[in-house]
Copies of this chain bind each other. A is one copy, B any other.
Amino acid sequence: MAGSDRALMAGVPELLLLQLLARRTMYGYELAQQVRLASRDTLAFGESVLYPALHSLEQRRLLQTRERTVDGRVRIYYELTAKGSTRLTQLTAEWRRIATGVEAVLAAGPHG
C-alpha cells in the first residue's frame, strides 16, 4: 500500500464497462464518453485504462467484438457475452457488498 488514491478505482472499470455494455453495444471511444455521462462527470478513465480493460475482458470471453468502418475510421464494437452477463451480476453483488460494508464503518465513526 502506498497511498495513491488510485487504489479505490481498482475493479471499477471492469464493472462499469460490463454495465454499460449490458445496455447496448458500443465501441471504445463511445464507452469512454458514456462513463463520464452515466456517472454524471464523477468518473472518467483514459485510454490507457479503457483499452487494456476491454482487451482483457475480450480475452476472458466476457465481451466479443465486431469490427466496423464508419467514415473512414475503424471502430471496434464490444458486445456482452452470456458469460459477461453472469460476471456482471456477480461483480455488481460484490460491489454492493463492499460498498455496504464500507458505509457501515464510515457511518459508525466521526466523519460519519
| Interface set of A (CB-CB < 8 Å, partner B) | 1-3, 5-16, 19-20, 22-23, 35, 38-40, 42-43, 52-53, 56-57, 60, 62, 87-92, 94-95, 97-106, 108-111
Q: Choose from B1, B87, B98 the contact partner of A43 (Cβ within 8 Å).
A: B98
Which residue in chain B gives the minimum CB-CB distance to A9? B98
One complex includes copies of this chain to the number of 2
Given contact pairs A43-B101, A108-B38, A109-B23, A91 touches B14 in the complex (Cβ within 8 A): no
Contacts of A94 in B (CB 8 A): 5, 8
Interface pair B92/A8, CB less than 8 Å apart: no
Interface pair A101/B56, CB less than 8 Å apart: no
